[in-house]
Amino acid sequence: MQDQLKLDNFICFAVYTASHALNRVYKPLLDTLGLTYPQYLAMVSLWEQDGQTVGGLGEKLFLESSTLTPLLKRLETAGYVRRERSREDERVVVIRLSEEGIRLKEKAIGIPGCIAAASGRYAVDLTRLQAEIVALREALNKSVV
Amino acid sequence: MQDQLKLDNFICFAVYTASHALNRVYKPLLDTLGLTYPQYLAMVSLWEQDGQTVGGLGEKLFLESSTLTPLLKRLETAGYVRRERSREDERVVVIRLSEEGIRLKEKAIGIPGCIAAASGRYAVDLTRLQAEIVALREALNKSVV
DNA sequence: GGATTTTATATCGCGCACGATTTGTTATCG
DNA sequence: CGATAACAAATCGTGCGCGATATAAAATCC
């Protein structure tokens, strides 16, 4: 039997659909902040560490400049960040939170709890699951070289 | 400490980045078939069960018609499927594999093994991990109503 | 049986996400 | 020091993915 070609046995399919499911849970919460999900991740990274470069953010979020540049421009238009060319190295663009961007953190603080409530109704330990998914990601990233 | 707002503690971020990592591993393999990753999933579903409707496929893949219709049109242009309105119910569109679409399965049969090789280098049991991610997805889907 | 509602698919606009390429800047090499 | 290579962002084209809406067919309700 070739049930290796059945969708339900694909870990990739599980991850793919879980990712969409998470997005759907986040969407109504993020709508109140005026953020999309990738924009939210960028803001979380900036709340952790302000003044990151486009490349630095890309490394943390695993995204290319072709994805981040327009996303960050939209965040700038929304008034949450400023994009400034570094004076020491004119190739580099530094992203800085605006006052409004800093304030937004207060409104975002409750979101992870809402997600935990939505996902935590079943038995599995989310912390361990999270660590295992990260391990999977690392194994995959290594294999791509 | 408010480390609930740290990226590395977000299960959503783990799933999001793992999904991208999987995509990157799949891409070179699927390029040889002329398929994108979502197109591949649709084909796998059709290899399992030919003659599904757009809505039926959407339910299995958790995708809207606004996503599937253009995707299936591209698969039709590629010559892998045919799209035919049902005669009993003219609202319904049935998707059928073409000869070439059926043949493609032989070329695709080896792909899951390649992915397992790329992801299976670490200790965790992939089958259990897969089941847990599915459980997470189900919990999330339930909470959205 | 004609009006209304429901259902299935399609269309449109927007925001990712990425590969390929371009632009402009810095570093390196002879 | 001038040519060349390396680097950081940005731009462009393609394909998702979804919400809102449109279209058309079937089902339901007076």
| CA of A67: nucleotide with nearest C1' | C17
Q: Which residues of chain A from 10 to 29 reach within 8 Å of chain B, CB to CB? A: 10-22, 24-26
Mean pLDDT of chain B: 91
CA distance B36 to chain A (A): 13
Helix (H, G, I), strand (E, B) or coil at A44: helix
Task: Note the CA–C1' distance, A30 to D11, in angstroms.
Answer: 29
Under an 8 A CB cutoff, do B122 and A135 touch?
A: yes
| CA of B65: nucleotide with nearest C1' | C9
Mean pLDDT of chain A: 91
Strand C-proximal residues of A, range 62-81, CB below 7 A, are 62-67, 70-71, 74
Average pLDDT over residues A43-72: 97
> Which of B130, B41, B139 has the alpha carbon at shortest distance from A5?
B41
Give the model's pLDDT for residue A9.
83
Give the model's pLDDT for residue A120.
65
B87 CB neighbours strand C below 7 A: no
Task: Note the CA–C1' distance, A115 to D7, in angstroms.
Answer: 39
- B139 or B120, higher pLDDT: B139
Q: Are B79 and B98 in contact (CB under 8 A)?
A: yes
Average pLDDT over residues B25-45: 96
Q: Which residues of chain B from 43 to 72 reach within 8 Å of chain A, CB to CB? A: 44-45, 47-48, 60-62
Average pLDDT over residues B67-87: 97
A88-92, A111-115, B127-131, range with the lowest pLDDT: A111-115
- B114 or A34, higher pLDDT: A34
Under an 8 A CB cutoff, do B15 and A4 touch?
A: no
Average pLDDT over residues B43-64: 97
Beta carbons within 8 Å of A42's beta carbon, 6+ residues apart:
A57, A61, A68, A71, A72, A75
DSSP letters, chain B, are --GGG-GGG-HHHHHHHHHHHHHHHHHHHHHTTT--HHHHHHHHHHHHSSSEEHHHHHHHHT--HHHHHHHHHHHHHTTSEEEEE-SS-TT-EEEEE-HHHHHHHHHHTTHHHHHHHHHTTSSS-HHHHHHHHHHHHHHHHHHH-
pLDDT per position as a tens digit, A101-130: 999 999 998 888 888 777 766 556 788 899
Alpha carbon distances (Å) from A68 to A33, A58, A72, A104, B56: 19, 7, 6, 20, 35
